[in-house]
């Protein structure tokens, strides 16, 4: 079964906890703290795999979790970093945040992509020793790994997309110009899955052609198979609109052309700007008058027209040569850029609760909402630090610290950030 959309839950590994330990050795008094740091949690990594063609594996397994890092140990021994979890998907898979639709990654290249980062390991107590705090009996826990509900969408990587009504000859054309073997029969929806074929244009030259099935009137709203497969048109550099110029099924070729183009625009208005060639198929069943009438209409709309008989490959080479000529001038296949995590305005951050604990004079502040915001902050940038300071004020964290007894000069630790409180 061809599955091109799936929803899964991914969870990167948590960082290991830092250790509370003190050096103890015969004849060495007051060895001091020697607790090691926790190891980093494993990342969730996505990798393109050309041996996969659908997302069907994700119908049965929907939860993926990387291992957590090892806890730190005594003797300044850091915990071991956890291995990354590699998830293999078909090339062309777009990963989106399920709730917001934000694009996280486009798995189109060969390089692995980290989608969820493992948590950093916590600091051992060796980091907290100061001249006034020589025996710190606390350490930092590891940070939680990133966690997402994601939607996987497979958008085929093809240079040319064939569009048109069912049974107009798209599959036939793919079969005669490539090694692809789609199902061909004289009834609608013979092709129920997209079919890719590699078209050879001489030694060392080729392009990928895709037969996009299921387009009928209403496809943009999900009728037929269109809504399911229209997403595969979005990457195509060039569209070839196949029309039964003979009207052999009792439809008007001109209305067919207008209808399918309208459905493409409804699904994605950008498709109206995509270069398109028009191929009038089944010319052997059409009269000269029908062909000329359709050709005049197409050219008046600003498109190039190619009369063909796909079944016997009549005049198909002229169409292929023009496709190859246009592809040489067009930009590469669309690659979707990852969208940044939206940053909330500091003034719009409402009141939140946090967990505040005190150990040896250090105030530790924790809260999942706060950790999520910290992931969007660059602590080496002055303006970003000012933004975070406003968040702490507007969310009530500063007031909560005062209620917990913090006074000027006390040390405050918020996950990876540590600072002296200034009132």
Say if residue 150 is in the same domain as residue 183: no
Which residue segment(s) compose the domain that 350 sits in? 343-423
**Amino acid 222: pLDDT:** 46
> In the chain, pLDDT over 90 holds for what percent of residues?
42
Highest mean pLDDT among 24-28, 154-158, 276-280, 286-290: 276-280
**Amino acid 375: pLDDT:** 82
Say if residue 15 is in the same domain as residue 94: yes
Is 334 inside a domain boundary? no
Residue 191, pLDDT > 90, answer no
**Amino acid 121: pLDDT:** 93
Say if residue 305 is in the same domain as residue 369: no
Is 337 inside a domain boundary? no
Which residues 6+ apart lie within 8 Å of 122 measured at CB? 15, 16, 17, 18, 37, 38, 72, 139, 140, 141, 142, 143
Exposure string of 7-42, with b = 16+ CB inside 10 Å and e = fewer, is: ebebbbbbbbbbbbbbeeeeeeeeeebbbbbbbbbb
Confidence class for position 220, pLDDT limits 50, 70, 90: very low
To the nearest 5 percent, what fractions of the chain are helix, strand and coil? 25, 25, 50
Mean pLDDT over the full length of the chain: 86
Mean pLDDT of 289-300: 95
Say if residue 418 is in the same domain as residue 402: yes
**What's the total number of domains in the chain?**
3
Confidence class for position 214, pLDDT limits 50, 70, 90: low
pLDDT in tens, 146-165: 999 999 998 888 899 998 88
Q: Which residue has the higher pLDDT, 64 or 271?
A: 64
Mean pLDDT of 107-133: 89
CA angle 187, 167, 267 (to 5 degrees): 120
pLDDT in tens, 48-91: 998 888 898 898 899 999 999 999 998 889 999 999 999 999 99
Is 29 inside a domain boundary? yes
In angstroms, the CA 397 to CA 419 distance is 14
Which residues 6+ apart lie within 8 Å of 43 measured at CB? 12, 13, 66, 84, 85, 114, 116, 117, 118, 145
Tokens of 91: 């090339």
Among the candidates 131, 154, 177, a domain finishes at 154
In angstroms, the CA 110 to CA 157 distance is 13
In angstroms, the CA 12 to CA 248 distance is 57
Residue 301, pLDDT > 90, answer yes
Residue 182, pLDDT > 70, answer no
Q: What is residue 152's three-state secondary structure?
A: strand
In angstroms, the CA 282 to CA 88 distance is 42
Residue 241, pLDDT > 60, answer yes
Contact between residue 138 and residue 61 where contact means Cβ atoms under 8 Å apart: no
Q: What is residue 289's three-state secondary structure?
A: helix
CA angle 198, 200, 201 (to 5 degrees): 140
Q: Tell me, what CATH number does 71's domain have?
A: 2.70.210.12
**Amino acid 72: pLDDT:** 94
Maximal C-alpha separation, the chain = 107
What φ, ψ does residue 244 adopt, rounded to 5°?
A: -75, 95
Say if residue 282 is in the same domain as residue 364: no
pTM strictly above 0.95? no
CA-CA-CA-CA dihedral for 259, 262, 267, 271, to nearest 10: 120
Is 401 inside a domain boundary? yes
Which of 88-97, 298-307, 321-330, 357-366 is predicted least confidently? 357-366
In angstroms, the CA 162 to CA 254 distance is 17
Is 43 inside a domain boundary? yes
């Amino acid at each position: 079964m061809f599955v091109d959309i799936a929803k899964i839950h991914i969870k990167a590994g948590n960082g290991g906890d830092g250790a509370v330990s003190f050096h103890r050795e015969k004849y060495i008094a007051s060895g001091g703290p020697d607790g090691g740091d926790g190891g980093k949690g494993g990342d969730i990594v996505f990798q393109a795999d050309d041996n996969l063609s659908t997302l069907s594996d994700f119908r049965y397994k929907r939860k993926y979790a990387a291992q957590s890092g090892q806890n730190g140990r005594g003797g300044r021994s850091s915990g071991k970093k956890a291995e990354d979890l590699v998830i293999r998907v078909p090339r062309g898979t777009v990963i989106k945040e399920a709730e917001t639709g934000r694009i996280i990654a486009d798995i189109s290249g060969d390089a692995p992509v980290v989608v969820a980062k493992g948590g950093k390991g916590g600091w051992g107590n060796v980091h907290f020793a100061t001249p006034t705090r020589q025996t710190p009996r606390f350490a930092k826990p590891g940070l939680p790994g990133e966690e997402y509900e994601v939607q996987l969408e497979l958008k085929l990587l093809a240079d040319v997309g064939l569009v048109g009504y069912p049974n107009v000859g798209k599959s036939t054309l793919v079969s005669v110009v490539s090694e692809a073997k789609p199902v061909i029969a004289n009834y609608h929806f013979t092709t129920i899955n997209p079919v890719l074929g590699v078209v050879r244009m001489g030694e060392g030259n080729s392009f990928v052609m895709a037969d996009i099935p299921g387009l009928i009137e209403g496809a943009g709203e999900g009728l037929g198979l269109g809504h399911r497969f229209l997403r595969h048109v979005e990457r195509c550099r060039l569209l070839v609109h196949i029309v039964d110029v003979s009207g052999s099924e009792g439809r008007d070729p001109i209305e067919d052309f207008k209808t399918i183009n309208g459905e493409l625009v409804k699904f994605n208005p950008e498709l109206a700007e995509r270069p398109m060639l028009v191929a009038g198929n089944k010319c052997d069943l059409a009269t000269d008058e029908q062909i000329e009438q359709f050709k005049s209409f197409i050219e008046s709309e600003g498109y190039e027209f190619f009369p063909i008989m796909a079944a016997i490959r009549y005049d198909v080479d002229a169409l292929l040569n023009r496709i190859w000529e246009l592809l040489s001038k067009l930009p590469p296949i669309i690659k979707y850029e990852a969208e940044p995590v939206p940053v909330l305005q500091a003034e719009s951050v409402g009141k939140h609760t946090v967990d505040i604990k005190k150990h040896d004079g250090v105030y530790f502040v924790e809260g999942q909402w706060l950790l999520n915001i910290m992931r969007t902050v660059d602590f080496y940038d002055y303006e970003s630090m000012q933004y975070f300071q406003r968040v702490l004020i507007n969310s009530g964290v500063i007031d909560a610290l005062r209620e917990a007894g913090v006074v000027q000069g006390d040390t405050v630790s918020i996950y990876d950030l540590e600072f002296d409180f200034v009132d």
